[in-house]
Structure 1
């Protein structure tokens, strides 16, 4: 279990480094009204917490791990809205680079955690 969490952490750190620096390079001459670093750090930490929760629930109650994943995704989205409400959602019209800079890390880390959790749950199902 710890080995899988550490491997998932390494994948998240690699994706963070690759995508964050690519994103900052692409929008370096444009002004963004929010901290891009904070958005990426939030998604990395949230994905790690969601994976760890599902990992622990899958060990205790394997049949309920999918529900834990769904609940944690809703909590993650709610926390994002609460934390970034003043800097992201207070502005009426976001520019295209700002919108892309919000959506890319969301889907990148959401897809990564969904793939990892699906592999975890498939392995738990057959064990």
Structure 2
């Protein structure tokens, strides 16, 4: 259990560092400007995905929830979207038109963290089926 939680933390931490510093490098090289804080949005995506994985690890220990874990996971993307809107409505959603680098700076981290999150959720669900 502790090994799993530590692997989630390390994996999301490493992915966060790779994404954030590669974004910063590419933005400096292309001399574009991003009108919102990349650090904050990347931290949100990393922490939200990490929390989902940690909660599912704990939920997998509850025998009554084992058969319903897949259904519990379904609304997490919607909830994450609502929380993102609430957290960034003044900085990201206040911008009338996002440039393509700004759109990609939101979409790519979202998809990468979501991919890692789904990988860990599938591992949790496959352990339950055995």
Q: Which has the higher helix share?
A: 1
Q: TM-score range by the shorter chain?
A: over 0.9
Gaps of 5+ in 1: none
Alignment of 1:24-103 (within 5 A): 24-28=24-28, 29-60=31-62, 61-103=65-107
The structural deviation recorded for 1:2 is: 2.1
| Runs of 4+ with deviation above 4 angstroms | none
* Aligned length, in residue pairs: 126
Please report the TM-score for the alignment, with normalisation by the length of structure 2. Answer: 0.92
In the TM superposition, what whole-angstrom CA distance separates every residue of 1:76-127 from its partner, at most 9, and x where no partner exists?
111001111111111111111100000011000001000111011001110x
TM-score (ref. length: structure 1): 0.94
Of structures 1 and 2, the one with the larger relative CO (CA 8 A, separation 6+) is: 2
RMSD across aligned C-alpha pairs, in angstroms? Answer: 1.0
Which runs of 5 or more residues in structure 2 are unaligned?
A: none
Structure 2 CA distance for aligned equivalents of residues 71 and 5 of structure 1: 22
- CA apart distance, 1:73: 2.5
